[in-house]
Amino acid sequence: MPTSSVHSILRNRLYAGEFEWTGRRYVGKHQPPVSPELWEQTQAVLDARHAKKHRRAKHDFAFSGLIACGHCGCSLVGEIKKERYVYYHCTGYKGRCEEPYVREEVLERHFCEMLGRLRFDSEVLDWVREALHASHADEKREHETAIAALQGQQKRLQNRLEAIYIDKLDGRIDADLYDRMSTDWRAEQTRCVREIERHQAANRSYMEEGVQLLELAQNAQRLFQKQEPREKRRLLNFLVSNCTWKGGELAVTFRQPFDLLAQTALAYAKKKAAGDVTDGLPPIWLPGPDSNQRPSG
Q: Are 60 and 229 in contact (CB under 8 A)?
A: yes
Determine the residue type at 15. Y
d(CA 208, CA 211): 5
State pTM to two decimals: 0.52
| Separation of alpha carbons 221 and 227, rounded Å | 10
What are 157-204's pLDDT values in tens digits?
Answer: 999 999 999 998 989 999 999 999 999 999 999 999 888 888 877 666
Give me the amino acid identity at 196.
Answer: I
Taking only the tens place, the pLDDT of each residue in 46-74 is: 776 654 444 444 567 888 878 999 988 89
22 Rama class: left (phi>0) / alpha (psi -120 to 50) / beta: left
Q: Do the Cβ atoms of 264 and 281 come closer than 8 Å?
A: yes
Residue 78 backbone dihedrals phi, psi, to 5 degrees: -90, 155
* CB neighbours of residue 67 within 10 Å: 26
What average pLDDT does range 266-294 have in this prediction?
Answer: 57
Looking at residue 262, its pLDDT comes to 84
Asked whether 74 and 65 are in contact (CB, 8 A), the reply is no
> How do residues 193-252 score in pLDDT, each as one tens digit?
888 888 877 666 655 667 777 788 888 999 999 888 889 988 998 899 889 999 899 999
Query: Helix or strand or coil: residue 26?
Result: strand
Q: What are the φ and ψ backbone dihedral angles of 39, each rounded to 5 degrees?
A: -65, -45
**Helix residue ranges per DSSP H, 117-257:** 122-169, 175-226, 229-239
105 DSSP β-pair partners: none
DSSP H or E segment with residue 41: helix 36-49
Report the percent of the chain where pLDDT is more than 70.
77
Q: How many whole angstroms separate alpha carbon 116 and alpha carbon 281?
A: 20
Q: How many whole angstroms separate alpha carbon 10 and alpha carbon 14?
A: 10
- State the chain's mean pLDDT as an integer: 79
Name the pairing type of β-strands 240-246 and 67-69.
Answer: parallel
- Relative to beta strand 67-69, strand 24-27 is unpaired
> What is the DSSP annotation of 76-92?
EEEEEETTTEEEEEE--
**How far is residue 88's CA from residue 50's CA, in Å, rounded to a whole number?**
16
